[in-house]
Amino acid sequence: MLAKQRKLKILELIREEGSARVRNLSKLFSVSEPTIRQDLEKLESEGFITRIHGGAFLKSVPQLVQTMTLEHLENMDKKRLIGQTAAGFVEHGETIILDAGSTTTEMIEELTLKENLKILTNALNIVLRLGALPNCTVFSSGGQFKPPTLSLTGEKAADFFTDVYASKLFLATGGISFDAGLTYPGFNDLYVKKAMIKAAKEVFLLADASKIGKVSFASLGGLDLIDYFITDSSIKDEDHQRFQDMGVKVIIAK
């Protein structure tokens, strides 16, 4: 991996996890610790991170947590339409799983109109928004806190979804590739998402079309893991057809 690519991957990881240790990054990218420190120095000089002894954290983390704001807020107009469309597939009285993410968060307003929902989630912002409503019963996982996504992750979070059943899962992703499948910046989320998929009868992937062709660091598995893909109208015709040929129903948010 070229130095520029590595630096971008490190930033992607820190934007997802909130922080990283030099030792862990060195093992992950198979380079020396001094090389990682140089990468972190460059990212700090560019204003993205703050270095600390042995690692670094995302510069915006304190403000994100205090304001309950998510880090990934690109393409919000498209994400809003996708979230609203996804909420339309939720029936009154259903038990559903909501993954953490900026697109799944956009389902919230429409879900407030549903009756007698049971919602299982690893997203603290979803817990706080829907947990106080009389028409929703919200169950939250445990696990390690990830500030940029306001979520809980790791094996403890995954254990929460064992031996539960939900009719639908609304899943987020970092990247979508016809070769690499569903990919994410870090490994910790893989435990959680695998457990969520196993617990759900149907899996809805929510992502804007800009994520098609993007490959992050860790692969969850192939696109056969999902049943429906809700995306925006900028999806290419050939990509649309490839999903359909793989048995994934594509839904265009409008």
Q: Identify residue 175 by its one-letter amino acid code.
A: G
Tokens of 188: 């910790």
Burial 225-238 (b: 16+ CB within 10 A, else e): bbbbbbbbeebeee
Task: Note whether 211 and 236 are within 8 A (CB).
Answer: no
DSSP string, 57-74: EETTHHHHHHHT--S--T
3-59: what CATH class? Answer: mainly alpha
The verdict on pTM exceeding 0.95 is no
- The alpha carbon of residue 62 and the mean position of all alpha carbons in its chain are separated, in whole angstroms, by 20
Domain boundaries, the chain: 3-59, 76-252
The CATH T-level fold of domain 76-252 is: Rossmann fold (3.40.50)
- Written as tens digits, the pLDDT of the chain (254 aa) is 688 889 988 988 888 888 889 999 998 899 999 999 999 999 999 999 899 999 998 888 888 788 777 776 778 899 999 999 999 999 999 999 999 999 999 999 999 999 999 999 999 999 999 998 999 999 999 999 988 889 999 999 999 999 899 999 999 999 999 999 999 988 889 999 999 999 999 999 999 999 999 998 889 999 999 999 999 999 999 999 999 999 999 999 98
- CA–CA dist 150, 195 (Å, integer): 19
Q: How many CA atoms, within 13 angstroms, populate the side-chain half-sphere of residue 92?
A: 4
